[in-house]
Chain A
Amino acid sequence: MLSNPATARKGNLTAAFGMTIAIIGTIFLYRNDEGQKLGNYLWIFAGLAIGGIVGTLAAKKVKMTAMPEMVSLFNGMGGACAALISLVEFNHLSHEIATQGIAVAHTGKLLVIGLGLLIGSVSFAGSMIAWGKLNGKVKDFSFAGQGLLNMIFLLVAIAAVIYLIIDPTQGHLIYVILVLALLYGILFVMPIGGADMPVVISLLNSFTGVAAAFGGFLYDNKVMLTGGILVGAAGTLLTLLMCKAMNRSLKNVLIGSFGGGNKAAAAGGSKEQGAYKEISLSDTAMVMSYATKVMIVPGYGLAVAQAQHTCHELEKILTEKGVEVKYAIHPVAGRMPGHMNVLLAEADVSYDVLLEMEQANDEFKTTDVVLILGANDVVNPAAKNDPSSPIYGMPILEVEQAKSVIVNKRSMKPGYAGIENDLFFQPKTSMLFGDAKKVLQDLVTEIKSV
């Protein structure tokens, strides 16, 4: 049902309904090995109520542009939940071991608890950092040897899990695992920035899925297992798809070679820039109203300026004047794959005028004006013809095939990836400086008076 926007909502509601049944079923029907029912109903319902109310309020209030943060935050909650379960279960188990001695049957359980804790904590810590980063509260941070240190943390944590399985009486090891996993999660996301964030969020998402699946093993619960694995597999695939859209290997994203590429580009950055030409607002209005076909390329700048509504207004006015307006959307435009579509959908832009990259690239040849709103890297021709560029090989929107290109940016500063864009210096291109929202508003007024 998720394969089509029209039915996706129903799919989501179905899933929510299924989840409700699973929760209610667990509360009232669950019996442990000795056939006892669950207790502590008051605590359970209080927890459900608090989580439910806070969750609903947070989800209702969040702005569409802040969606990736929210997803990341919720993901972290799930990870923390999985980690907490492991902690409690371990305490329970070690108590059992202390009173009844070590039994072989515990090995599987210990493995599941250990890995659940490890993955859940990494996911939690990582998601929290990702959340802070998307908020702008946490800055990119890296130091020499960070990769190595991370590796050590991870290996020691895994070793601790193995040791714990061999000798479960070493209960304190569980806290060693917890601390190392949290540190690993923090350090792992810290250096990753910019366009790579969505990939990380998706990866952490699949981590939490896997952690949930371990919970399924622990309780021999098929619902948890199925849900967890489903998300784990889906999330992993989605992560890889995203990497493909940016032509980056997962390894590159995780090591954060955009950072490295930056410095290299800055060092050899004395490349000839040429001159760019500016275009005035009224000229832009003129050019656009007399065009037959206009293609809008929305980017992060549009999202930041919250200009999606104004953008839709511009589209409407142009359409009234008989101009064909379409949107060309790069798979990684915005802050998450498909995030731009959500933003435009919020502004009521019809789903039919949103073109995916391949379609858009076919249509650029017949386009008179391309209006680029705060997108940099996804239209950078260097991805096609400069093998030394860090984004070389990334599929881009080939806007230079259109008759003319107007780029709206706040300044000539390079975008996310920190790479100069030759497009801006091409004779076909004109620059229209200013905040996306302000420019679009003025443009709408201008076009009305044309």
Chain B
Amino acid sequence: MESILNFISENQQIIYIVILMIFVGIEVIGRVPSVLHTPLMSGANAIHGVVIIGAIIVMGQAPTDNYLALILGFLAVVLGTLNVVGGFVVTDRMLEMFKKKK
């Protein structure tokens, strides 16, 4: 229990950010018209691809002789990139269509 409290106090700043981002997230969605919900969902999908940063860190820290870590990390990087790149490209394609109107 104590260690959890410690953890909270150590990461106070981060917890503030979390709370702030929750509000920002709600605010952002609240303003988006329902016509854009699909691109929004796929855009959000691309954004949570930030896990890739974690994957890169994992990869970069893996000792060169630890093949399990290397392989898992490599997979993580590939999948994360798929998520990010695919997500943004798909979203862009969708939004491009909305733009074509005269």
Task: List 5 A-B pairs, Cβ < 8 Å.
Answer: A37-B60, A74-B45, A81-B52, A92-B69, A351-B101
Contact at A234–B28, with CB atoms within 8 Å? yes
Chain A nearest CB, measured from B69 CB (Å): 5
CB distance from B61 to the nearest CB of A (A): 6
List B61-102 residues whose CB lies under 8 Å from chain A: 61-62, 64, 68-70, 72-102
Which of B45, B52, B56, B97 is within 8 Å of A342, CB to CB?
Answer: B97
Known A108-B4, A227-B48, A345-B100; judge A60-B93 contact (CB<8 A).
yes
Cβ contacts under 8 Å, B36 to chain A = 2-3, 5, 8, 338, 341
Complex formed: what's the CA distance from A181 to B21 in Å?
A: 27
Interface centre among B18, B28, B39 (most CB of A within 10 A): B39
Q: Are the C-beta atoms of A351 and B35 separated by less than 8 Å?
A: yes
Complex Cα distance A13/B28, Å? 17
| Pairwise interchain contact A2-B40, C-beta atoms closer than 8 A | yes
| A331 interface residue per 8 A CB criterion | yes
Q: How many A-B residue pairs have CB under 8 A?
A: 387
Alpha-carbon separation in the docked complex, A80 to B17 (Å): 25
**Is A56 interfacial (CB-CB < 8 Å)?**
yes
Known: A229-B18, A342-B97. A19 touches B50 (CB 8 A): yes
**Does A107 sit at the interface, judged by CB under 8 A?**
yes
- Residue in B76, B81, B94 whose CB lies within 8 Å of A52: B81
Which residues between 25 and 74 of chain A lie within 8 Å of chain B, taking CB atoms?
26-27, 30, 32, 36-41, 43-44, 46-48, 50-52, 54-56, 58-60, 62, 64, 67-68, 70-71, 73-74
Q: Which of A99-131 contact B (CB under 8 A)?
A: 104-105, 107-108, 111
* CB-CB under 8 A for A22 and B85, given A9-B99, A351-B98: no
Size of B's binding interface in residues, CB under 8 A: 85
- Which of A202-210, A277-285, A364-372 makes up part of the contact surface? A202-210
A4 to B102, CA, bound (A): 15
**Contact (A2, B45) CB under 8 Å given A43-B59, A51-B78, A54-B82:** no
What residue in chain A is nearest B8 (Cβ atoms)? Answer: A108
Chain B CB within 10 A, most for which of A44, A111, A329: A44
Cβ-defined partner of B74 (8 Å) among A46, A242, A334: A46
Cβ of A87 < 8 Å from any Cβ of B?
yes
**Given contact pairs A13-B92, A201-B41, A345-B100, A59 touches B86 in the complex (Cβ within 8 A):** yes
B73 CB, nearest partner CB in chain A, Å? 6
A221 cross-chain contacts in B, Cβ below 8 A: 53-54, 57
A211 touches B (CB below 8 Å): yes
Among B24, B46, B75, the one with the most A-chain Cβ atoms within 10 Å of its Cβ is B46
Q: Check if B98 sits within 8 Å of A55, measured CB to CB.
A: no
Q: Which residues of B contact A226 (CB under 8 A)?
A: 17, 21
Residues from chain B with a CB closer than 8 A to the CB of A351 are 35, 98, 101
* Contact call A345/B97, Cβ cutoff below 8 A: yes
Q: Given the known inter-chain contacts A84-B76, A227-B50, please indicate yes or no for A12 contacting B92, CB distance below 8 A.
A: yes
Mask: chain A, 330-364; 1 = CB below 8 Å from B; 0 = not: 01001011110110011010111010100000000
Chain A: residues with Cβ within 8 Å of the partner, total of 116
Is A304 part of the contact surface with B, judged by Cβ < 8 Å? Answer: no
Indicate which residue in B6, B83, B92 contacts A9 across the interface (CB closer than 8 Å). Answer: B92
Taken together as a complex, chains A and B put the C-alpha atoms of A223 and B5 apart, in Å, by 24
Given A47-B77, A47-B81, A336-B38, does the pair A229, B47 have CB atoms closer than 8 Å? no
Interface residue ranges of B1-38 to A (CB < 8 Å):
3-4, 6-7, 10-11, 14, 17-18, 21-26, 28-38
Instruction: Output the residue of A43, A64, A105, A208 with the most chain B CB within 10 A.
Output: A43
Specify which chain B residues have a CB less than 8 angstroms from the CB of A56 in the assembled complex. Answer: 85-86, 89
Query: How distant is A226 from chain B, measured CB to nearest CB, in Å?
Result: 5
**Bound-state Cα–Cα, A213 to B62, Å:** 21
Known: A52-B81, A237-B29, A356-B35. A26 touches B73 (CB 8 A): no
Taking a contact as CB atoms under 8 Å apart, the answer to whether A74 and B100 are in contact is: no
A226–B47 Cα distance when bound, in Å, is: 10
Contacts of A354 in B (CB 8 A): 35
Contacts of B101 in A (CB 8 A): 345, 348, 350-352
Kindly name the residue among A9, A85, A231 whose own CB sees the greatest number of chain B CB atoms within 10 A: A85
> Which one of A36, A84, A342 lies within 8 Å of B73 (CB-CB)?
A84
Chain A residues with CB under 8 Å of B91's CB are 12
Chain B residues, CB < 8 A from A192: none
Give the residues in chain A near B26, CB-CB below 8 Å: 233-234, 237
- Whether A338 pairs with B38 at a CB distance below 8 angstroms is yes
**Contact between A55 and B74, CB atoms less than 8 A apart:** no
B83 touches A75 (CB 8 A): yes
Rounded to whole angstroms, the CA-CA distance of A26 and B87 in the bound complex is: 20
Nearest CB of chain A from residue B50's CB, rounded to whole Å: 4
| Contact call A47/B78, Cβ cutoff below 8 A | yes
Which chain B positions have C-beta within 8 A of A215? Answer: 50-51, 53-54
